[in-house]
Structure 1
Amino acid sequence: MEEPDTAAILPEDHSATAREGSEAGGGAPTTGPRCPCSLPVSVEPVLFLSMFSVALQAPLSTQYLWDRISEDLGFNGSRRSECSNSSVPPDPLQKEVETLTAHWNLYISLGFFLVGIMVVPLLGSWSDMAGRRPVLILPNIGLALQAVVYLVVMYLKLPVVYFLVGRLLSGLSGDFNAILAGISGSFRDVGQHHWSYINPFWLVLATNVASALYAFLFVHESVYPDPSAKLLTARHHKAVWHLYSTGGSSGEDGGRLRRCKLWLYTLCFFLVVTVHFGSRDLFVLYELSSPLCWGSALIGYGSAAQHLAYLSSLLGLKVMQRCLKDSWVALVGLASNITGLVVFSVADTTELMFTGYGLCFLFMAATPVLRSKLSKLVGPSEQGALFASVACVESLCFLVGSSIFNSLYPASLHFMKGFPFLFAALVLFIPAGIIGWVCAFILFIVFLILNR
């Protein structure tokens, strides 16, 4: 799952006003009063709590896999004084640990994808008729169950294959992608080994439970629920396909243009998020191994620096939108991401690694813009179907990114350790070119109109 966007990710029907019609889902009219059992409270705390949970457990899971695999293979290289000494030949056990950790990340991602790709479209489109609140509650319950499984694995030191069970449970409930469809560091003590992961995952569990309870008790319903709406029906998948085959509920004249924009912006979104997923999986691996050989404290600082970029991206987004069009904001965000990835590809010192994090201070500005552009292309009654399709794309990005980068990393260790980051930077030139071409085309049309 993607590290969540911090802006422009809420569907249009997040407002208090109930909407009429549900053309994409074919359900009953959605006009009517709100659910009387819920208070008119903002949905942002659900997003924040879920985002905090996802951001907390992602680097810890990779570190735990690294430690468990290192223990099984008898590798303790990251604690050797010569770890950062480039004159010492690389330990073959380290390469094996890196390879196995990358592969287990891939297997867990694959299992999650196969389940999530079927569940998320159902939940997202179903929310257009049945209401948004159930789609806010169910994924948080699934994420809480995942945390329970992870805790059991850590307490009992079960094989890491059981991590896959936790991800499957989360995928069955839609995971964080379903939450997006529905709404429109250093916690470890060095030396305590596996027990050092326990407290953070208890915090993950508590956060998911709190998020589910908040959504159940306080979040108002923005769609008048249709009691007859069915979850297990092919109609929801058809609603998603309807958007991309016809351009949504727009008329004949606008349908073709909207369909073209939907495909182009979805392609850009796919490439950007694939790079985010793929490169994110590698940061902890890259930092744990030589020549950086970071410990838990530095990994925590690196994770904090990476997540501070979400806040700086949000602030930058708000500032840039005052003087720039959305497309130019996306291009600036892509430029920030590209330069940071290039620095990561050659980072062999702690200072250079943090320089890369600093250059990525606007790296998340592109994805909220793309979400917003997609949201504006469809009507209010199709927001759930749209964000279900976006969530499916995210699940596909999760699989493709994990597959490519977790396979490319061990394959490139012998000639350039940071090559996957360089490859990621090159991929981002494609969406930058598409968005730039769209900007140029719009400017050309405006020029023609002004000079008629």
Structure 2
Amino acid sequence: MDEPDTAAILPEDLLSAASLDDQPPDSDDVHGGEAGVQTTGAAARPACPPPVSVEPVLFLSMFSVALQAPLCTQYLWDRISEDLGYNGSKSSDCVNSSAPPDPLQKEVETLTAHWNLYINLGGFLVGILVVPLLGSWSDVAGRRLVLVLPNLGLALQVVVYLVVMYLRLPVAYFLVGRLLSGLSGDFNAVLAGCFAYVADVSDRRSRTFRVAVLEACLGLSGMLASIIGGQWRRAQGYINPFWLVLATNLASALYAYLFVRESVHPDPSAKLLTTRHHKAVWRLYSTGGGSEGVGRFHRCKLWLYTLCFFLVVTVHFGSRDLYVLYELSSPLCWSSALIGYGSAALHLAYLSSLLGLKLMQRCLEDSWVALVGLASNIIGLVVFSVADSTQLMFTGYGLCFLFMAATPVLRSKLSKLVDPSEQGALFASVACVESSCYLVGSSLFNSLYPATRHFMKGFTFLFAAIVLFIPAGIIGVLQCLDQRRARRESAAS
């Protein structure tokens, strides 16, 4: 590892290092012999902390994505219905299932689902190539451009959508807009840039909480967008809400450009279009990063924590797709108002998880905090699997009040396993993993639900709870091994 640049070490880093002298080392903070030391080069921190951070960027970007996603699906439904001459609507009486299904409605549902799949898959396939490129490039060129460019790409996507709506072009042009957004990194690049920025400016003790704050921004903006979007569409149609989406993306890009201060020292000679950025991501997982002295156990931890993150987020995305479907059907037969309350309760868990994480960190290691969060999620999913009444369903939502505590811990642990000069590459790969979680979770859970509902309607939720035991076991075993290793090193010294 390069010799540390003392001019680039923040005052709080020195205080934190001094406070750790009398404490046993945290194995997650050990990487190549020097824990948490900012190296020289393009990724070194500025001499003083930035006056503002990236939470507003992530909040605004997530708001725009959460606002437009359901509106796009509804617009596709309406346009395809119009093209096929279908004027019906779903019956509000969910108990009456004796009526034969309308074949035209089934065709509309199929075509809408297919176009949704094409649009999402197109954005994913382009983004999985571009996001690692941008993330690794930000390690040398600076974070701010990686926050600005994807928001401009998202704004360009909305412009295409508005042109389609004004000129009533074929819905296939929605795919063109999504591909243009994917070429700029899409929302995943914003995620990678924001989490890498927080890793740059936070010390190692506060990093988990700072990451949890970003996670809470995702939940709050998603809840706000869900409330606004549905009401506004019913009142004024599709076009005006999409103008708000455009304004939000532009505001996020403008804020990042004007107010977010660089967290790394940019290298003006850094090139974007080069294979070294993808190689940096590959080296991260094949050799454990650019630091010397990294052993096999360290690389295994990087892979295992990534696997845990994949399983946890896949369960989150997959089960979230089924909540509304589960609540609409018998025996719950919820109205739109109750579904809204359920969605609000789910999003409020982001706040309760943030508060719970902050409180638990005072007496527990991060790994045990993650296990408590997974236990909350598992218990809630088990209750969902047997819920046959409104009271029991809301009990499940209440028991999930800490279900988001695990993901910020996993992001933080991954961040501590790599060099400061590799944070962009790491979080770019994590963003791609998160995007693949959405595809895998949606495909798996939406296929499993109709295949198993004839013998147990809530089996899919029970299956999700069982899957979460895998990351819980991995996190627990790794923490026990880390503690045993720390005790052995302490006894040897």
| Fold shared, TM-score > 0.5 on shorter chain | yes
**What is the match of residue 468 of structure 2?**
428
Distance 2:331 2:115 in 1: 23
**What is the match of residue 275 of structure 1?**
315
Larger radius of gyration: 2
**What is the match of residue 112 of structure 1?**
123
Structure-2 change in CA distance of 1:237 and 1:15 (3 Å): farther
How do 1:5-404 and structure 2 match up within 5 A? 20-21=39-40, 29-30=42-43, 40-62=51-73, 73-79=86-92, 82-83=93-94, 85=95, 88-89=97-98, 92-93=101-102, 103-153=114-164, 160-183=171-194, 184=196, 185-187=226-228, 195-252=236-293, 254-288=294-328, 292-294=332-334, 296-404=336-444
Name the SS of the counterpart of 1:92 in structure 2.
Answer: coil
Name the SS of the counterpart of 2:227 in structure 1.
Answer: coil
- The Cα offsets for residues 226-268 of structure 1, whole Å up to 9 and x where unpaired, read as 222111111001101111111123333x332221110110110
Q: Check the 8 A contact 2:157/2:180 in 1, yes or no.
A: yes
User: Which has the higher mean CA deviation after the structures are superposed, 167-176 or 98-107?
Assistant: 98-107
Name the SS of the counterpart of 1:223 in structure 2.
Answer: coil
Structure-2 change in CA distance of 1:58 and 1:191 (3 Å): closer
User: Which has the higher mean CA deviation after the structures are superposed, 348-357 or 207-216?
Assistant: 348-357
- Matching residue's letter, 1:41: V
Distance 2:484 2:135 in 1: 37
Distance 1:236 1:192 in 2: 42
Q: Check the 8 A contact 1:291/1:349 in 2, yes or no.
A: yes
1:424 to partner: Cα distance = 2.0
**What is the match of residue 4 of structure 1?**
none
Distance 2:325 2:80 in 1: 12
Distance 1:333 1:429 in 2: 12
**What is the match of residue 208 of structure 2?**
none
Q: Check the 8 A contact 1:62/1:105 in 2, yes or no.
A: yes
Distance 2:385 2:63 in 1: 28
Distance 1:13 1:286 in 2: 52
Distance 2:240 2:344 in 1: 18
User: Which has the higher mean CA deviation after the structures are superposed, 45-54 or 230-239?
Assistant: 45-54
- The Cα offsets for residues 371-425 of structure 1, whole Å up to 9 and x where unpaired, read as 0000001111111111122122122222222322233344445554444333222
1:325 to partner: Cα distance = 0.9
- Matching residue's letter, 1:225: P
Percent same amino acid at aligned positions?
Answer: 76
Distance 1:163 1:349 in 2: 40
Structure-2 change in CA distance of 1:432 and 1:78 (3 Å): farther
Q: Check the 8 A contact 2:46/2:263 in 1, yes or no.
A: no
Distance 1:103 1:413 in 2: 23
Distance 2:237 2:59 in 1: 25
Q: Check the 8 A contact 2:384/2:393 in 1, yes or no.
A: yes
Q: Check the 8 A contact 2:44/2:420 in 1, yes or no.
A: no
1:99 to partner: Cα distance = 6.1
1:277 to partner: Cα distance = 2.1
- The Cα offsets for residues 157-183 of structure 1, whole Å up to 9 and x where unpaired, read as 665544433432332221222122212
Structure-2 change in CA distance of 1:275 and 1:365 (3 Å): same
Distance 1:241 1:145 in 2: 31
Name the SS of the counterpart of 1:342 in structure 2.
Answer: helix
Q: Check the 8 A contact 1:99/1:410 in 2, yes or no.
A: no
User: Which has the higher mean CA deviation after the structures are superposed, 168-177 or 327-336?
Assistant: 168-177
Task: Normalising by structure 1, report the TM-score.
Answer: 0.81
Structure-2 change in CA distance of 1:90 and 1:225 (3 Å): farther
Task: Normalising by structure 2, report the TM-score.
Answer: 0.75
- The Cα offsets for residues 74-124 of structure 1, whole Å up to 9 and x where unpaired, read as 542343xx32x2x64375348777666555544333222111110100000
Structure-2 change in CA distance of 1:388 and 1:332 (3 Å): same
Q: What value does the CA root-mean-square deviation take over the aligned residues?
A: 3.7
User: Which has the higher mean CA deviation after the structures are superposed, 353-362 or 238-247?
Assistant: 353-362
- Matching residue's letter, 2:275: A
Name the SS of the counterpart of 2:283 in structure 1.
Answer: helix
Structure-2 change in CA distance of 1:161 and 1:330 (3 Å): farther
Q: Check the 8 A contact 2:366/2:409 in 1, yes or no.
A: yes
Distance 1:330 1:157 in 2: 48
User: Which has the higher mean CA deviation after the structures are superposed, 125-134 or 338-347?
Assistant: 338-347
Distance 2:151 2:451 in 1: 36
Structure-2 change in CA distance of 1:211 and 1:420 (3 Å): same
Name the SS of the counterpart of 2:152 in structure 1.
Answer: helix
Count of residue pairs brought into register by the alignment: 428
- The Cα offsets for residues 273-294 of structure 1, whole Å up to 9 and x where unpaired, read as 1122222333344445555555
- Matching residue's letter, 1:201: F
Structure-2 change in CA distance of 1:406 and 1:141 (3 Å): farther
* Unaligned stretches of 5+ residues in structure 1: 1-11, 23-28
Structure-2 change in CA distance of 1:99 and 1:338 (3 Å): farther
Q: Check the 8 A contact 1:314/1:365 in 2, yes or no.
A: yes
Q: Check the 8 A contact 2:233/2:241 in 1, yes or no.
A: no
